[in-house]
Amino acid sequence: MQNLIYALIQVAHNFGATAIVALAGYSAWGVSGRPQRRRALLLAALWALQALSGALFGAVTYFYDHQLPDIHGVAVDALVIKMGCAVLGISLALHAAKTGRPLWGLSFLLGLTALSAAAFLRWFS
């Protein structure tokens, strides 16, 4: 059951990460003049999904194993980078929704950074 739960969380986490990069990239280079606020709010929700699904990995491990995942070294660094990207991503997206001045290129780079860090977290943990 634990592996099934991990897999379902991973599906949400992967689709969320892909959607962040796609939405930010599309918004930065694919469209102009369309409603920025709604896309910014969607981007904030996608970053929140990333943060929530990431936290669920730890919660499931804690529930089943009674301890947090045993990660160290590069994996910890990658996790900190991913968490930083999520915090910055949510902040940028909410700021964009409020001011109407989105920073789509920066959001795109944050998404790519988080995706790259995910590979290191996965393989060094």
pLDDT < 70 regions, the chain: 32-34
Tally the C-alpha atoms within 13 A of residue 116's C-alpha that lie toward its C-beta. Answer: 8
Contact 73, 124 (CB under 8 A): yes
pLDDT single digits (tens) 58-72: 999 999 999 999 999
Would the pTM of this model clear 0.95, i.e. be above it?
no
pLDDT at 90 (0 to 100): 98
The pLDDT, as a whole number, for residue 89 is 97
Do 90 and 48 meet the contact criterion of CB atoms below 8 Å apart? yes
**The predicted structure's pLDDT at residue 97:** 93
Which pLDDT does position 109 carry in this prediction? 97
Query: C-alpha angle 31/115/14, rounded to 5°?
Result: 85
